[in-house]
Amino acid sequence: MNKDQRLSSAIHILIVLDYVGDFLNSRKLAMSLQSNPAFVRRIIAQLARAGLVVTEKKKAGGSKLARDPAKITIAEIYQALGHNRVFKSFEKKPFEKCKISCCIKISLDHVYGEIEGAMLQRMKKITLAAVIKKMK
C-alpha cells in the first residue's frame, strides 16, 4: 500500500519556515525534504489557500509562516491538503450474490467516518508548536 506523505511533508515545510523565520523558496525547501520543488510548490499553494503561509513571487520571494506555530493546528494543516480519506472502502461493484459484498461498503464507510472524525478532533488539539517542541 502506498502511503500519502503530504501531511508529513507539509508539517516539515512549516517547521522549516518557522526555523528560518523569513521567506524561503521552494528549491531550498525541496532540498530539506529531499524532494522536488514542484511537489513543494503544490503543497505551499494549498497551505497558502488555507492562510497558513504567505507567499511572494519576487525574485527573492518564497513562502513564510502566516501565523505563530502555537496558533496552527495539525487539523488545519491536514484539512488544507484536501479531503483525502485515510481509510477507503471498496470502489468496485459488489458481487450481487454475496450479502457481505452488497453491504460492507456502507458499513465500512460509517466506521471509517467515525474513526476519522475522532482523529480530526485529536488533531485539533495538537499545534505545530507542540510538534516543534518535541523535536528539541
Predicted confidence (pLDDT) per residue in 32-41, tens digit: 999 999 999 9
Model pLDDT, residue 93 = 86
pTM, rounded to two decimals: 0.86
Question: How open is the CA angle 109-92-3, to the nearest 5 degrees?
Answer: 65
Which ranges in 50-127 belong to alpha helices (H)? 74-80, 99-123
Find, among 75, 77, 76, 107, the residue nearest to 90 by Cα.
107
Residues of the chain with pLDDT under 70: 1-3, 83-84
Model pLDDT, residue 124 = 97
Terminal-to-terminal C-alpha distance of the chain: 32
Model pLDDT, residue 1 = 44
63 strand-pairing partners: 24, 55
Burial of 6 (0-12, 13-18, 19+ CB in 10 A): middle
Model pLDDT, residue 3 = 62
